[in-house]
Structure 1
Amino acid sequence: MKKRKIELAVISDVHLGTYGCHADELITYLNSIQPKKLILNGDIIDIWQFSKRYFPPSHLKVLRKIIGMASKGTEVYYITGNHDEMLRKFSNTSMGNFKIMDKLVLNLDGKKAWIFHGDVFDVSIQNAKWLAKLGGYGYDLLILINSFLNWCLAKMGREKYSLSKKIKNSVKGAVKYINNFEKTAAELAIENDYDYVVCGHIHQPKKEVYETKHGSCTYLNSGDWVENLTALEYSFKRWKIYHYNHDRLSPFFVDEDLKEMDMNDLIASITDKEVDIEDITEKQHLSESEENIDRDFLDDQGLSQD
């Protein structure tokens, strides 16, 4: 399979070591791309619920794939989250192209991107970790029940159903929490003059521009590889939310943002040079006219080679 070359890929909330993790699908995705930078934005390994009894080969393959990408030149940044917070004692550790950190600021084509997991906004985690961990086990049980339900639905030829997404979208408190999370991240980014703020944690893929009286920024969330199977991709100066179930066979340039770009804008985004498409078209017409004149001349002289 031909790999797509992209500037940057962001994945988060993989939760390796839990029953809900879609490791096989993630390996397929990682095999389909060739990013210059790969950002693992927290909760990649679920150390909270880690068990020696459950860590299948496919989960180990994900780790091997990531290490292999780093060894082949991809810059890999592991940003710690709440489920893998034990790795925070190794923050700012660097091993070749593999780096562990708590947050990251990148310059993307002259714009600043602020990247962190997002659990710093979660009061329940900061003040009552036991309650958050208990909730994590309940979530894992819900995923198991959901997997059995989807197996039954598949046997019946019906579409899969997400219990966790249904619960999140129906509980007012959950919806309010997600909205507050996104708004807080965006407002802090604007106050600190960041153009992009990139998070994970809440398992809600999102791309939205927020504006305040102090300015504006783009809020981005990479979603997860438990419910949504999503990632963020940056290329051609554009961000895209990648959905595995819809985009796995589609190239990057089918992004709606790129569809709306005119040819001048697209070429300029790749080459940083303004190109006049009318001049190109005119030159093509002149070239075709010259070829026709030459062909007519050869016909008149009886020298045409048909």
Structure 2
Amino acid sequence: MKKRKIDLAVISDVHLGTYGCQADELIAYLSSIQPKKLILNGDIIDIWQFSKRYFPPSHLKVLKKIIGMASKGTEVYYITGNHDEMLRKFTDTDMGNIKIINKLVLELDGGKKAWIFHGDVFDVSIQNAKWLAKLGGYGYDMLIMINSAVNWGLKKLGRERYSLSKRIKSSVKGAVKYISNFERTAAELAIENGYDYVICGHIHQPRKEIIENKNGSTLYLNAGDWVENLTALEYSFKRWRVYHYNHDKLSPFYVDEELKEMDMNELIATITNKEEFLKNIEVHQDDKDEAKAKAKDLD
């Protein structure tokens, strides 16, 4: 399948290492695009809840896929969030096309500026009571597990999926107010600093909305998550859109064959030495051609 070429893709809140992560769907999405830049806007690996007992192959494949994209020329920016805050000690580290940072300002078409950060800086519970935030994270993961069982039953009955967490958030005034305040605060700071776009994650609420105040306006964007919403942000032809995996059709495709054959060591090597990687691919191909020739001779 011919991949969609786009200028910029933003994903956030993947939460690799948790039961709620929809890794297979994310691999499908990443395999369908060819972005010039890929922004990982926080909480990609859930270090808070990381356990050696649960990190399935599909979660590892997501990391392999991202590294593979970087080896092919995509600029990858890993912006740290609260669940992967341990990576902040490596801020400003470059590994070939992969950069670890806390925030990012990009100048896009026409000189417009995009301010990109995860958004946990606005979360009072994280700043003042991290233990409470972590407890809430475990509770959310448990809720997702229960929700998965409920949706399995609904699917058997031929009924639509149901989101318990969305129902709870929409029915609790405090949660609705928090989300609204989060978006307003991010937008007002962007306006104050002259940013045309402000792009966040953290609250798992995909959004594209122009927010105004007496000082001006900005386009607020949120990439959502890959736990429930399965959404991303895409920028191309001077326009932003929210991509919904469950609504936007994907043509049939197959995961890159080279990705299946490469192990993690080979993938890491591609970050720092692409020429060596290409030589390895050529060697593998020569081996295959030689094997085919021998097989033909046997016939």
TM-score (norm 1): 0.81
C-alpha contact 1:29 1:248 (8 A) present in aligned 2 = no
Paired residue for 2:192? 191
Q: Percent identity?
A: 85
* Structure 1 alignment gaps of length 5 or more: 251-306
Matched, 1:46 2:43: no
SS at match of 1:39: strand
The amino acid that maps onto 2:4 is: R
The match for 2:175 is 174
Name the counterpart of 2:245: 244
The 2-side partners of 1:32 and 1:151 are apart by 27
Q: Which has the higher contact order (CA 8 A, sep 6+)?
A: 2
Q: Distance in 1 between matches of 2:97 and 2:179?
A: 33
1:160-214 CA-to-partner distances (Å, cap 9, x unmatched) read 1000011011100000000000000000000000000000000000000011111
Q: Which amino acid in 2 is paired with 1:206?
A: R
Secondary structure in structure 2 of the residue aligned to 1:188: helix
Determine the C-alpha separation between the residues in 1 that align with 2:170 and 2:52: 34
Q: Which amino acid aligns with 1:8?
A: L
Give CA-to-partner distance per residue, 1:201-252, whole Å, 9 cap, x none. 00000000011111110000000000100000000000000000011338xx
**Which has the larger Rg?**
1
Whether 2:131 is the aligned partner of 1:130: answer yes
Write the deviation string for residues 75-132 of structure 1: whole angstroms up to 9, x where unpaired: 0000000000000000000011000000000001110000000000000001101000
RMSD between aligned alpha carbons?
A: 0.7
Distance 1:248 1:194 in 2: 32
Q: Deviations over 1:36-65 (max 9, x none)?
A: 000000000000000000000000000000
> Paired residue for 2:29?
29
What is the rounded CA distance, in whole Å, between the counterparts of 1:167 and 1:206 in structure 2?
A: 19
Q: Which residue of 1 aligns with 2:265?
A: none
Partner of 2:4: 4
Whether 2:87 is the aligned partner of 1:87: answer yes
Unaligned runs of 5+ in 2: 252-299
Consecutive aligned runs of 4 or more in structure 1 exceeding 4 Å deviation = none
**Partner residue, 1:277:** none
Give the whole-Å Cα distance in 1 for the aligned partners of 2:249 and 2:136: 32
Number of equivalenced pairs: 250
DSSP 3-state at the match of 2:180: helix
Partner of 2:202: 201
Q: Distance in 2 between matches of 1:160 and 1:247?
A: 17
Q: Which residue of 1 aligns with 2:259?
A: none
Which whole-Å CA distance do the structure 1 matches of 2:22 and 2:81 have between them? 19
The two structures have a TM-score, normalised by structure 2, of 0.83
Q: Which residue is 1:280 aligned to?
A: none
